[in-house]
Structure 1
Amino acid sequence: MNVSGERLDLEWLRGWCEQTSAALGAVMSSFLKTQFLKTHGFPPDENAIILATDESHEATDALVDLTPIPSDLTTLYWVVREISWPDVENGYFIHSASTVAAHFREYGAVQVDDESPGIVFASDGGGHLFAVAGSGRVWRSTTASWFHEFEVAAASIQEFLEQIGRRVADCRN
């Protein structure tokens, strides 16, 4: 686990992407082979970790120019363009850097406790938002709002990724 103060490691992140993508593929395959259609009435959506491209790197650079973002978020966007998991629990979404920039322009930063303001970079299917503050901690909104309270969700982006990665593994059980 990433201890607060340590930076997100590119190699760890790439390995996490590979392992989690493989687990996600197995989950989606089992959904199609089981009672998913009977239970839910529709097939699963596209669930994927979408890797970064030259275009998404440019969007990350533009986000960095727009606002000072924590270095771990930059590292994340250097490897991952976005994550869309609508069928993992109630859904998990890591927004692209261009979406984060658009939201920042529209809503600004969010206040998280007594820390420096946080930048919203993810959400769940219930509309709760996830923000990362200057400390590197990840915060979750207590309601589906940009303007209400946030509570600590993880000590770091790595811990946050580990948590949501376990959600994929739990779908297999």
Structure 2
Amino acid sequence: MNVSGERLDSEWVRGWCEQTSAELGVLLSSFLKTHGFPAGENAVVLSTDESSKATDALVDLTPIPSDLTTLYWVVCEISLPDVGHGYFVHPASTVAEHFREYGPVQIDDEPSAIVFASDGGGHLFAVAGSGRVWRSTTASWFDDFEVAAASIQEFLEQIGRRVADQA
């Protein structure tokens, strides 16, 4: 759920994708000159028929929070190795593989949380049934997690601001 308590809206996610991709283009156009080395492959990849099937399989596998389902109906994956320390929203197929291998993440009083993203340092991001996004304090599935955002929308807004600030 987003900050106002409403569910994540797919049209909002589409707008976020368009805006972030445009700002990413600006960032990448001057990356080599600014940083002295070429950028990696940075992209917001929209969903496909294949990724939609993977989302369906993930929904069948686990009680996935509705905002994560909404995100995956629009986005297949996000790979931003050159934004901040790096941000990676994993494809639904990867989330399902990790869920089968490691299970849900247990966070304090939250319902089980599902790891759906990571950063360039190996820290994990998990979304709980409450809609809150949590970040691992170490690069581990089994250590402590701290609140990173009140919702997936806020999490995406944070990433969008990072891209815009760097552009």
TM-score under structure 1 normalisation?
0.94
Deviation at residue 5 of structure 1 after TM alignment: 2.9
State the distance in 1 between where 2:101 and 2:35 align.
38
* Amino acid across the alignment from 1:163: Q
The secondary structure found in structure 2 opposite 1:75 is helix
State the distance in 2 between where 1:136 and 1:2 align.
8
Deviation at residue 4 of structure 1 after TM alignment: 5.2
State the distance in 2 between where 1:75 and 1:155 align.
16
* Amino acid across the alignment from 1:36: H
| Deviation per residue, 1:73-122 (Å, 9 max, x gap) | 00000000000000111100000000000000010000111111100000
Highest RCO, 1 vs 2 (Cα 8 Å, sep ≥ 6): 2
State the distance in 1 between where 2:67 and 2:53 align.
17
- Is the 8 Å Cα contact of residues 90 and 124 (structure 1) preserved in structure 2? yes
Q: CA RMSD in A?
A: 1.2
Unaligned 5+ runs, structure 1: none
**Aligned equivalent of 1:168:** 163
Q: State the 4+ residue runs in structure 1 displaced beyond 6 angstroms.
A: none
Tell me, yes or no, if structure 1 residue 133 matches structure 2 residue 150.
no
Tell me, yes or no, if structure 1 residue 3 matches structure 2 residue 6.
no
State the distance in 1 between where 2:128 and 2:46 align.
23
Q: Name the CA shift for 1:18/1:141 in 2 (closer, same or farther; >3 Å).
A: same
Percent identical among aligned pairs is 80
* Amino acid across the alignment from 2:111: S
**Aligned equivalent of 2:13:** 13
The secondary structure found in structure 2 opposite 1:126 is coil
**Aligned equivalent of 1:94:** 89
